[in-house]
Amino acid sequence: MECVKIGEHDYGEFHGLTNSYYREGEDENTPQEVIDSFVRLMFDKVINNEIYGCFVKDEHKYIGFALWAVDTEDFAFSEMPGFGTILEIGLIPSYRASGLGKNLVTYIENSLQKNQIAQCYVSAYGPAQKFWASCGYVENGSKASNGLPIMIKTIV
């Protein structure tokens, strides 16, 4: 597994991977223009260095992506300032349940540690909660602004 920083000319690849991810997840009934708008927003945040983003590469092709950030008071998706937050992780279906998702979480946590971040959180919908629990994240009893439970982990 190799993580490759998302660049300004990568929108087509980014849109393809993220659109597939959202279509098969909790957003399967969301209108396409809403997903397109959100995908563009996230891409622009990566390019403007407001959040971190990478593609996951295996051999010669991109097989997934990850988005994460350091939560601050003025962060657009702020839930827990001072924490790191993993916004999205998506792998194409044939690479799931292979251990790559957990490797990607470790990569992100190491990145956050380099920024002196000691704790990380995710807000995960039902099917993903088992994955996050297997990575050491536990519900803290709070809900994110999107209504999903917040799961946290100490990463140092």
The sign of the CA dihedral 43, 47, 48, 49 is positive
What are 115-150's pLDDT values in tens digits? 999 999 999 888 789 999 999 999 999 999 888 899
34 bridge partner residues = none
CA nearest 57: which of 99, 131, 93, 5? Answer: 5
Q: Is 37 helix (H, G, I), strand (E, B) or coil?
A: helix
User: 137: which residues sit within 8 A by CB, 6+ positions away?
Assistant: 120, 121, 122, 124, 151, 152, 153
What are 38-78's pLDDT values in tens digits? 999 999 999 999 999 999 998 888 999 999 999 988 887 88
Contact 54, 3 (CB under 8 A): yes
The phi, psi pair for 123, rounded to 5°, reads -115, 115
pLDDT at 26 over 80: no
Contact 90, 17 (CB under 8 A): yes
Give the residue with greater pLDDT, 22 vs 7.
7
The sign of the CA dihedral 26, 89, 72, 45 is negative
Question: How much is the pTM?
Answer: 0.91
